[in-house]
Amino acid sequence: MNKLLEMRNITKWYGDHLANDRVDFDLAAGEVHALVGENGAGKTTLMKILYGMERATSGEIAIRGEVVRIHSPADAIRHGIGMVHQHFMLFPPFTVAENVVAGREPSRQGWFDRRRAEADVRDLCRRYRLELDPRRRVADCPVGIRQRVEIAKVLYRGADIIVLDEPTAVLTPLEVRDLLATVRHLAEQGKGIVIITHKLHEVMEVADRVTAMRQGRVTGRLLARDTNVEELSRLMVGRELASVVRPPARPGPVVLAADSLFLLGEGGKPKLNHVSLAVHRGEIVGIAGVSGNGQSELLRALTGDLPVDGGRISLLGRDITHLSVRERRLAGMAYIPEDRQHTGSAGVESVRDNAILGHHRRPEFQRCGWLRGRRIDREVESWVRRFGVRTPSLQAPAHSLSGGNLQKLVFARELAAGAPLLIAAEPTRGVDVGAMEFIHSELVKYRNEGGAVLLVSSDLNEVLALSDRILVMYDGAFTGELSPEEADEERVSLLMVGGVRSG
């Protein structure tokens, strides 16, 4: 086999944390090699080492059979390595062409040669079947297109080893399909592609080979055609995963009702355009949508973080439209915020204090105004154990937890409140498959016991797997309501982009 890349025996310590443990990884021209693993398995670390953003503690890298030293992304680019990160690194005010050629601008008599840049980008796009308008401003491009710009940029620099770090996490299903087609096409053109993902059906669709990692080690190296989703998740998690079992919903009375919520945005364009919804006892109502279409505003309005310009919100029949966040909590609303780094937790405070944040007034946690320390410790310890939160101790600052572990902690806290309503925003973003399975089953259990859940997630599979009813949000309004039976990916995707496919 024609080896483009070989990483041999790569070990990486971060302080006393072993992020990569004697990892071997290779890539041939013309192949798509998926790198899978739970959050924190060490995938990004391995690829950052390849791209010169991190130095391996030991091990070596060979490109086309020759051992090389890569100390910076510039070195990596020289060796034909390109990486598309999870967070894009584009200049939004500039055009697609300007972004693609940035750092290698063609010039004419010392001036930026825009015509040539645009022509180059057009050629490149034709060759690699990337649909892009070189003159469009990046700021006006949706996420899927921005990602394509990143890929074009990597290609423009001549990369033949292309690393995509969780490229589908931010995309709608239709965009995912386009991306996977692009990836296949690039491989056919002789590029070697590494795709990091934990969505296993994507792996099965696009990859030739798969390397699975767990806790820094390689746990499996397989041909995609010889494996399946079950085997891969076992290699990632170290055990079998159960799929969510959801008995039919038996909805009871209305718990949360929003009536014609209206919120004006900048420039007079509504952020929420007369949004109404109801969530009943014993049901999970899922809101699907590409992020940025009003979901955050809706959540903030419902939870009391953002006053609305019109409409009414009631909880258990009581008007809560003008209540504060705290008052709403006391009235029976539990909330897992989208942004747990900032609104869901207090980073410098301890894990223990975060675990009771907003709940320290619960009677079991205080007596005569005094916090009951031991009681709290015991309770928090039990959550940490039950939810498998990885933390050095209860006294460690919350910011020392990984995103996934912090999420588990916030989830445990909100669920333990036993409120009649749980609003869950992106409840599994950034958590690994094992934790995702657990969170999903806990949500369903809560709903089976009569809890009302409003679930907002940009992960469509999650919405489809959990919801008893699905509302699709686009441009500040609901574009449709579907039952789980009617809601196939295609239908929901179309509603998610307002019914028409944007390019």
Ligand X SMILES: Nc1ncnc2c1ncn2[C@@H]1O[C@H](COP(=O)(O)OP(=O)(O)O)[C@@H](O)[C@H]1O
Rule CB under 6 A: which residues touch ligand X?
14, 17, 19, 37, 39-45, 402
* Residue 86 C-beta: closest distance to ligand X, Å: 9
95 binds Mg ion (CB under 5 A): no
Residue 44 or 345 with smaller CB distance to Mg ion: 44
* Binding partner of residue 197 among ligand X, Mg ion, none, CB cut-off 5 to 8 Å per kind: none
The C-alpha atoms of residue 90 and residue 112 are separated, in whole angstroms, by 18
* Residue 12 C-beta: closest distance to ligand X, Å: 8
User: DSSP assignment of 87-112, as one string?
Assistant: S----TTSBHHHHHHTTS--EETTEE
* Residue 213 C-beta: closest distance to ligand X, Å: 7
Residue 166 or 205 with smaller CB distance to ligand X: 166
Provide the token pair at 93: 């005010």
Task: Pick the closest to residue 476 from 256, 268, 337, 328 (CA basis).
Answer: 268
The C-alpha atoms of residue 55 and residue 79 are separated, in whole angstroms, by 16
Q: What is the DSSP letter of 161?
A: E
* Residue 43 C-beta: closest distance to Mg ion, Å: 5
Residue 45 or 391 with smaller CB distance to ligand X: 45
111 DSSP β-pair partners: 108
Q: Is 481 helix (H, G, I), strand (E, B) or coil?
A: strand
Count of residues of this chain found to bind Mg ion when the rule CB under 5 A is applied: 1
Question: By CB under 5 A, which span of 37-45, 277-285, 426-434, 489-497 interacts with Mg ion?
Answer: 37-45
Residue 44 or 493 with smaller CB distance to Mg ion: 44
Q: How far is residue 455 from each of residues 36, 72, 438, 479, measured CA to CA in Å?
A: 27, 42, 16, 17
* Residue 50 C-beta: closest distance to ligand X, Å: 12
168 binds Mg ion (CB under 5 A): no
Q: Which residue is nearest to Mg ion (CB)?
A: 44
* Residue 165 C-beta: closest distance to Mg ion, Å: 6
* Residue 45 C-beta: closest distance to ligand X, Å: 3
Tell me the torsion sign for CA atoms 75, 80, 84, 88: positive
44 binds Mg ion (CB under 5 A): yes
Burial of 217 from C-beta contacts in 10 A (0-12 / 13-18 / 19+): middle
Q: Which residues contact 389 (CB under 8 A, 6 or more apart)?
A: 351, 383, 401, 405, 408, 409, 412
- 318-347 binders of Mg ion (CB under 5 A): none
* Residue 449 C-beta: closest distance to Mg ion, Å: 35
Residue 39 or 211 with smaller CB distance to ligand X: 39
Residue 232 or 258 with smaller CB distance to Mg ion: 232
* Residue 85 C-beta: closest distance to Mg ion, Å: 10
Question: By CB under 5 A, which span of 25-33, 41-49, 105-113, 118-126 interacts with Mg ion?
Answer: 41-49
* Residue 87 C-beta: closest distance to ligand X, Å: 13
Residue 44 or 354 with smaller CB distance to ligand X: 44
Q: Which residue has the tokens 């894009």?
A: 88
* Residue 411 C-beta: closest distance to ligand X, Å: 19
Residue 165 or 178 with smaller CB distance to ligand X: 165
45 binds Mg ion (CB under 5 A): no
Residue 95 or 211 with smaller CB distance to ligand X: 211
Residue 196 or 453 with smaller CB distance to Mg ion: 196
Q: What is the DSSP letter of 219?
A: E
The C-alpha atoms of residue 51 and residue 72 are separated, in whole angstroms, by 7
Residue 106 or 403 with smaller CB distance to ligand X: 403
* Binding partner of residue 14 among ligand X, Mg ion, none, CB cut-off 5 to 8 Å per kind: ligand X
* Binding partner of residue 144 among Mg ion, ligand X, none, CB cut-off 5 to 8 Å per kind: none
Give Rg (Cα) of the chain. Answer: 24
Question: By CB under 5 A, which span of 44-52, 76-84, 297-305, 487-495 interacts with Mg ion?
Answer: 44-52
* Binding partner of residue 19 among Mg ion, ligand X, none, CB cut-off 5 to 8 Å per kind: ligand X
399, 348 contact by CB (below 8 A): yes
Q: Strand 17-28's sheet: what is its strand order?
A: 17-28, 3-14, 58-63, 66-68
Task: Pick the closest to residue 204 from 436, 428, 36, 56 (CA basis).
Answer: 36
The C-alpha atoms of residue 440 and residue 462 are separated, in whole angstroms, by 9
* Binding partner of residue 80 among Mg ion, ligand X, none, CB cut-off 5 to 8 Å per kind: none
Q: Is 347 helix (H, G, I), strand (E, B) or coil?
A: coil
Helices (H) and strands (E) in the chain, counts: 16, 24
Largest CA distance in the chain: 80
User: Which residues of this chain interact with Mg ion, rule CB under 5 A?
Assistant: 44
